[in-house]
Structure 1
């Protein structure tokens, strides 16, 4: 994230408070979940226009979730070490299943 983005996100935490931002994170995660379900339904119905709209909605909600997660990183610390370990574990599981 840029310095300007970081400044805005820190300001949002200060302005709204971490408790409200945690609630907002849950809300945004729920909205992303809903859009994922809609995307799957649109794909099953083979309706091109619905599929395009569902994809756009998913991308927008994903952006909202990402913004909230960046705020959590700023407040609680980043998750990079956890991400690295979980990706390594994922690789191990996939490697084992290919044997």
Structure 2
């Protein structure tokens, strides 16, 4: 399934978050948002596992930055070690590099 990217160039930061799916699915979801994390936490509730702010880049660049920098994030590494599905989910969000091939 191809991720649906929307591109913004305004000055608002981009937040990435990981949350649990609904009770029946028992799966994790990754998302990108420009809302404040407090609002995000209220809307997602206790299922929110992780969130991180990125600077005001267009979303495509923020996604690339995310993939390059999450390997150094100890909290996310603990989540990844215990959840193979999330590793696969992050792979789905890899964008093609400049020459059009996947990374």
TM-score, normalising length from structure 1?
0.32
Structure showing greater radius of gyration is: 1
Q: Which has the higher helix share?
A: 1
Q: Which has the higher strand share?
A: 2
TM-score, normalising length from structure 2?
0.31
